Amino acid sequence: MNRWKMAVTAGPLMLIVAACSNGASTSTTPSPTPTPTATASSSGLVIPSLGNSDQELENLIPDSVGGVSLQKFSMKGNEFIASASSSAETKAFLDALGVSPADVAVAFGYGVDPSSQSAVAVFVFHAPGAGSDKLVTVFKKAADEGSTTYTWQAGSVGGKSVQIGTNPASATSKIYLYATNDDLFFVSTSTDAQATEVLSGLP
């Protein structure tokens, strides 16, 4: 899962998303680097307590999907850069986008239905001036620089034009990238119906 660390300005966030997309939602996933505190979700997954620095960005994420309630967190880019979880890869990702950490914000929501283990992760990355095309291109490049190279194809889900990434080792494991203006959304769900519900409600 370390391949996700360079994908965004918040490595711990993407480790949570990677756990979901890799079908590991039933196990406890500690943060790989020290974090101030952690919150145990109803699924037993340990989620770093990253605060709620950007309520407006969090509001773009649904409160629940298919009956699964989402816990939401957010932080500014410069907050993460100053944290112990920052890395050279993070800086390289921001440099590729041509944005300043002070201008960036990230938010995510994650939840698991304890009875069905249906997992949902929704991530939004706000980078003023980056533009939707660059956000998608740089994210895909970062995602594919790890041990898993995703198969990408364009598609339409929930009325949105998306890039769908499929793990060759697990055809049912899909991730959805959707960008509008300067916001990049990353969606990982247990079912196609959940993905449609999330994407149809995004801006």
Higher model confidence: residue 34 or residue 106? 106
The tens digit of pLDDT for each residue in 40-88 reads 443 344 444 468 878 999 999 999 998 899 999 888 877 766 665 556 6
The tens digit of pLDDT for each residue in 154-179 reads 999 999 999 998 887 776 678 899 99
52 DSSP assignment: B
Entry pTM: 0.75
Phi, psi of 14 (to 5 degrees): -75, -25
- Domain encompassing residue 143: 2-200
User: Residue 30 pLDDT more than 90?
Assistant: no
Domain total in the chain = 1
Environment class of residue 178 by beta-carbon count within 10 Å: exposed (0-12), middle (13-18) or buried (19+)? buried
